Structure 1
């Protein structure tokens, strides 16, 4: 992946930093650059085209080469997407006929005849032993020659690249936005933040870094530059140590700590000492990660620092030599004694924990007096709770309606999903309504005053990005639970992977379910074609990269749901492979073209999660016949090998039902609160661009808005979450 500062700005903001170079006659080269961009679904804004036209031809060409590399990678066009069946989606054979042909070809091959006959005599043939199965039978060039040019259509994606400011200003702005984000970042964004933090360590810094993982990445850059560290808990030091070892700063996975230099060891020990010296109560945090602190102590050599006694206490607690009762243990003790009021009073000193415990406290409360105490405490501390937690609890309460006893879906920070029966007692209506009203009032208090708000209607059902950890990075990717319209006649999924060391076989499949979540049919390597569409063929080894496709005619689909999935049949996991990504395209029936056409790509997302089955999103047909995508970003554990769509049917249906029946907090909720505050909310109309500054929320950044306008698109949706 391209990591240059300029590429980072393009990828995160869809702005190209203002190119610099000698003046000249660059108009022709700029138009050629624009045409090249349009071939992959991008375009220069009028302002950027004008800027490039005034520069020398060489400057424009150099800018074009760098930018094209970045945007081609964004859309997945930086690799060669071949297909097993050269004419796909035409002339895809019947699955059984295809397998019989592979067996016949194996029998005609002297090298494989005896082995194949032996398998036939046993009644079972392993497809992977057949020489013509699973590997490309033609070159990429031969495949391209077999397809006509793509016919342009009005519905083709066209992402506009806008003119940015100076490179240093754009890099600083992006750094401040990522470092100061109120919501956690995904792994790719954290990596990008690390690059930017190194570049900006001596420049402007955000007023606050509320997300601890972000702080760890920034602290690594500050430590390497010799700047002061941002530490206020012992866990901040542990996360920094993980960052220095290129480990997991989220602390979800154990980190193998590297040997550290004396300077770094002293800095970490000094940090621990100062935190505990300021408040010995911080030692209670050690218990949550006791084993990690033990392993870190082996690298830090605390005995070498007799003048840092408070730091030594951290490791004494981790080893069990010093007692430091944790806050959570004290809360549990009170609840164990049925002292809900006492637990509430204690939790008021930790407002975030109080909010996360509201459901349990209300269920544990006995009588109206205790329930009133819980709600009153929440109302009292609400101004001290982060906006992300306020909105998360609001969403939770919205889904805790009286009498609902269905299935609970748990999704951890890395997208692993688990569904179980919901056996909880309900939250009573009076307390639920009172809390929701208080949370909405608190959110309104924090939202900025907006006079005129322009909203693209297609963005209203996009879920608020309350966490970015399990949301994949890529192009056109929306937060989990978001709903977006799907307009087109042909829906085409694609997956690409490249193995790092071991033979790796990923299988792209699509499960079709009816309104009751029962399986209607599927497309996969075991069912290459049916009435609805075609599969491009099974590739079982990817040393140079491999692609698989599924083509669906939406008008012919007989189901209510379409659930694409990527199954790991064998080999490296999504996080182990050198590269792996999924996406989908939309086309009109007459467009023809290659199996992969970048300007028809609507979404391309990286697959880097745990588990052996990936569920990026699902498609649902509404009562009006229109299709909508619902974003999942989920990974199922699956089996160690031989995962197939047939074996996942029940699990996928169970997870899908739980996700579909849960209502997300969306942009519509925030725009409604802004309207309550007096904002004039208008649907975006590109034919009528206001002359005054506005706040705009949409899927794409429009041209022509006043330069002082505030613009919110999927790339910076996190900015909508109030502090």
Structure 2
């Protein structure tokens, strides 16, 4: 169990649970362990190194082996990264010269000569039919031999592993943090919570589990342990049924429900019956997932439980045999009758729905009296609204145009666009035809939201802030952040320092030949194309492409090397196109990342300690846009985090075919103001005893609330520490 739980603590908390074992003289092995970690961009804190040095050598070796496996996977160093061109980024040929060389090789090969000659006679040659195209022409060992050793640089990434408590204490703390999160977790977080919930079922539980998806995963463990289920809606039971079938507890995608044992059926029927008996109006929730409830009824056999008539009502509603009027239909009826005040009054019974409907209600108002009624209703119920909803609405109205004519001319107003991103990261753009929200109501709402948020934030004491974290977007949903190392929420800005920027993608197919293509698009300040690097353009002024790999039974990598000083545009947009084969969610493994290094460092195509970000590619669509790079007015580059997926084509996706859609999406994200850490720390500072911007060197002797990208060594043990790994803890409940 240690092998499964310890990596979770390291990944989520950057802490190594307190190693246990016989005392000894482990100092030499501990320093060797620290040296091995340095090669992949990690190191032991002084406290952790000292603790390991007091253990036996064998204990330290065991800890080192487990930990190195974990951190190598975190950074993408657990696989071999080969490159098509053995000397990459040196000696990358011109694209046309390279293709000509491949054709010449095919003509010299008896097996492909006739086929290639026949293609040449038509004037079109399929590159995939050329023997030397798209497959490695050398071994991984030959790549290593072709490159000088990486020269260490001060700018190399260094992630510190800190000393944790006992494994059980660390696991319990992580479970309570994930289960009690005020924001939805991402796919990885839910998967980890499921393991932790099973292990911690008989231990301490969070005071509240506000996120329904988290509750479904916890209920799965409670069901196994015989504890009471935490359900207060019929949808909670449906989510649990999906969890029992290893399906989607968010209910965004349909789940094929499995047959259930009699004890499980009895528990779920009992939960449904209790919920409806206590609040019959909750039957209205069935209609939102009518088909899924029909399928659930087929699995639960409600006719076998005549003493549970309220549960039977759930499935009668799903089949249309019983009517349950929904809350939303009553709201729509009032709005259809132009009774905006009545609709706002009704929505106060569902504060979250009211807040999500504020823009629509204000646009429907015809008089100042109606507008005042809507805003007053929002002010009254604000204390009952979840913190992440408060912040989402605050961000929405901050970006809402007060008066289109005041902000831009009439011609530009017609070109306004709205960018939509669903919970899976699928993005699309449409024309924004909404009339504006008038300034008085917008400002009044923003003031009310700020006041409520400020009231909920805890007093931080001495607030110590890393300036680089201020432009990180608030994680209002784990769905806006991919799993990985150094990954920030969608909309975040982070500094990029270095001469060379190198992207990488790795994928390993499951069963069929799969071709992913790494590309980079350079755009000017008006989002027009300047140039690109891809398998169709191997070299440009900006840099080099490592070459196209078209099959990955044992895994494959592609790289793009960019000289930031030579980039002619204002934006760099890396993307991963699926040319053929399995999707991002179907391959055995796929991830994207970027490295930063200085020109004199050299090294192999992939060097773990230069990796700044490694992000899993597990989304819908056939084109992935993990992030973009923006050149500021000061000439410095910054990363803008996107986490987007375009639908693309079923096959043959290329950068040439999606340049316009990528530019449009990028514009929508870049020009939107996301709510950031700067906003919350500004509110927290009102209650702080002191607020200090950390200089990266010294830390106070007293306890602090530290908020930054990395945890400094030497903080007081009673400090509260917020880094990207637990940034969700900043979101008030």
Q: TM-score, normalised by structure 2?
A: 0.98
Q: Aligned equivalents of 2:95 and 2:698: distance in 1?
A: 54
Q: Does 1:499 align with 2:509?
A: yes
Q: Aligned equivalents of 1:304 and 1:653: distance in 2?
A: 58
Q: Which residue number corresponds to residue 408 of structure 2?
A: none
Q: Which residue number corresponds to residue 9 of structure 1?
A: 9
Q: Does 1:660 align with 2:662?
A: no
Q: Which residue number corresponds to residue 646 of structure 1?
A: 656
Q: Which residue number corresponds to residue 149 of structure 1?
A: 149
Q: Which residue number corresponds to residue 407 of structure 2?
A: none
1:601 Cα deviation after fit:
0.2
1:677 Cα deviation after fit:
3.2
Q: Which residue number corresponds to residue 710 of structure 2?
A: 700
Q: Which residue number corresponds to residue 296 of structure 1?
A: 296
Q: Which residue number corresponds to residue 62 of structure 2?
A: 62
1:450 Cα deviation after fit:
2.0
Q: Does 1:518 align with 2:506?
A: no
Conserved in 2, the CA contact under 8 Å of 1:671 and 1:681? no
Q: Does 1:283 align with 2:283?
A: yes
Q: Aligned equivalents of 1:640 and 1:146: distance in 2?
A: 38
Q: Which moved more, 1:258-267 or 1:555-564?
A: 258-267
Q: Which whole-Å deviations, capped at 9, do the CAs of 1:5-39 have from their partners, x for residues lacking one?
A: 00000000000000000000000000000000000
1:273 Cα deviation after fit:
0.6
1:462-611 matches, within 5 Å, as: 462-611=472-621
Change (3 A) 1:703 1:253: same
Q: Aligned equivalents of 1:296 and 1:393: distance in 2?
A: 34
Q: Which whole-Å deviations, capped at 9, do the CAs of 1:188-207 have from their partners, x for residues lacking one?
A: 11000000000000000000
Conserved in 1, the CA contact under 8 Å of 2:403 and 2:438? no
2:692 is paired with a residue whose SS is strand
Conserved in 1, the CA contact under 8 Å of 2:519 and 2:533? yes
Conserved in 1, the CA contact under 8 Å of 2:3 and 2:66? no
Q: Which moved more, 1:2-11 or 1:193-202?
A: 2-11
1:85 is paired with a residue whose SS is coil
1:112 is paired with a residue whose SS is helix
1:4 is paired with a residue whose SS is helix
Q: Which residue number corresponds to residue 722 of structure 1?
A: 732
Q: Which residue number corresponds to residue 189 of structure 1?
A: 189
Q: Which residue number corresponds to residue 456 of structure 1?
A: 466
Q: What is the number of residues matched between the two proteins?
A: 722
2:596 is paired with a residue whose SS is strand
Q: Which residue number corresponds to residue 384 of structure 1?
A: 384
Q: Which residue number corresponds to residue 410 of structure 1?
A: 420
Conserved in 1, the CA contact under 8 Å of 2:462 and 2:688? no
1:547 Cα deviation after fit:
0.2
Q: Which residue number corresponds to residue 410 of structure 2?
A: none
Conserved in 1, the CA contact under 8 Å of 2:463 and 2:688? no
Conserved in 1, the CA contact under 8 Å of 2:403 and 2:437? no
2:77 is paired with a residue whose SS is coil
Q: Which whole-Å deviations, capped at 9, do the CAs of 1:188-238 have from their partners, x for residues lacking one?
A: 110000000000000000000000000001101111111111000000000
1:118 Cα deviation after fit:
1.2
Change (3 A) 1:678 1:78: closer
Q: Aligned equivalents of 2:257 and 2:512: distance in 1?
A: 27
Q: Aligned equivalents of 2:685 and 2:254: distance in 1?
A: 46
1:135 Cα deviation after fit:
0.4
Conserved in 1, the CA contact under 8 Å of 2:454 and 2:684? yes
Q: Which residue number corresponds to residue 130 of structure 2?
A: 130
2:629 is paired with a residue whose SS is strand
Q: Aligned equivalents of 2:699 and 2:601: distance in 1?
A: 33
Q: Aligned equivalents of 1:31 and 1:720: distance in 2?
A: 36
1:213-224 matches, within 5 Å, as: 213-224=213-224
2:600 is paired with a residue whose SS is coil
Q: Which residue number corresponds to residue 641 of structure 2?
A: 631
Q: Aligned equivalents of 1:298 and 1:264: distance in 2?
A: 14
Q: Aligned equivalents of 1:63 and 1:84: distance in 2?
A: 36
Of 433, 436, 445 in structure 1, the residue corresponding to residue 446 of structure 2 is: 436
1:686 Cα deviation after fit:
4.0
1:688 Cα deviation after fit:
2.9
Q: Aligned equivalents of 1:567 and 1:81: distance in 2?
A: 19
Task: Note the aligned Cα RMSD (angstroms).
Answer: 0.9
Q: Aligned equivalents of 1:477 and 1:132: distance in 2?
A: 36
Change (3 A) 1:375 1:153: same
1:401 Cα deviation after fit:
2.6
1:29-178 matches, within 5 Å, as: 29-178=29-178
1:372 is paired with a residue whose SS is helix
Q: Which residue number corresponds to residue 270 of structure 1?
A: 270
Conserved in 1, the CA contact under 8 Å of 2:355 and 2:389? yes
2:479 is paired with a residue whose SS is coil
Q: Which whole-Å deviations, capped at 9, do the CAs of 1:40-80 have from their partners, x for residues lacking one?
A: 00000000000000000000000000000000000000000
Q: Aligned equivalents of 2:541 and 2:324: distance in 1?
A: 65
Q: Aligned equivalents of 1:687 and 1:60: distance in 2?
A: 30
Q: Which whole-Å deviations, capped at 9, do the CAs of 1:224-269 have from their partners, x for residues lacking one?
A: 1111110000000000000000000010110001111111111111
Q: Which residue number corresponds to residue 305 of structure 2?
A: 305
Q: Aligned equivalents of 1:679 and 1:407: distance in 2?
A: 43
Q: Does 1:691 align with 2:701?
A: yes
Conserved in 2, the CA contact under 8 Å of 1:499 and 1:577? yes
Q: Which residue number corresponds to residue 25 of structure 2?
A: 25
Q: Which residue number corresponds to residue 423 of structure 1?
A: 433
Q: Which residue number corresponds to residue 396 of structure 1?
A: 396
Q: Which residue number corresponds to residue 334 of structure 2?
A: 334
Conserved in 2, the CA contact under 8 Å of 1:9 and 1:171? yes
1:615 Cα deviation after fit:
0.2
Conserved in 2, the CA contact under 8 Å of 1:3 and 1:192? no
Q: Aligned equivalents of 2:183 and 2:478: distance in 1?
A: 7
1:682 Cα deviation after fit:
0.9
1:567 is paired with a residue whose SS is strand
1:117 Cα deviation after fit:
1.1
Conserved in 2, the CA contact under 8 Å of 1:277 and 1:310? yes
Q: Aligned equivalents of 2:709 and 2:3: distance in 1?
A: 25
Q: Aligned equivalents of 1:601 and 1:446: distance in 2?
A: 37
1:469 is paired with a residue whose SS is helix
Q: Aligned equivalents of 1:81 and 1:335: distance in 2?
A: 59
Q: Which residue number corresponds to residue 357 of structure 2?
A: 357
Q: Aligned equivalents of 1:496 and 1:503: distance in 2?
A: 14
Conserved in 1, the CA contact under 8 Å of 2:402 and 2:442? no
Q: Aligned equivalents of 2:689 and 2:373: distance in 1?
A: 35
Q: Aligned equivalents of 1:447 and 1:468: distance in 2?
A: 20
1:312 is paired with a residue whose SS is helix
Conserved in 1, the CA contact under 8 Å of 2:504 and 2:594? yes
Q: Aligned equivalents of 2:100 and 2:224: distance in 1?
A: 62
Q: TM-score, normalised by structure 1?
A: 0.99
1:291 is paired with a residue whose SS is helix
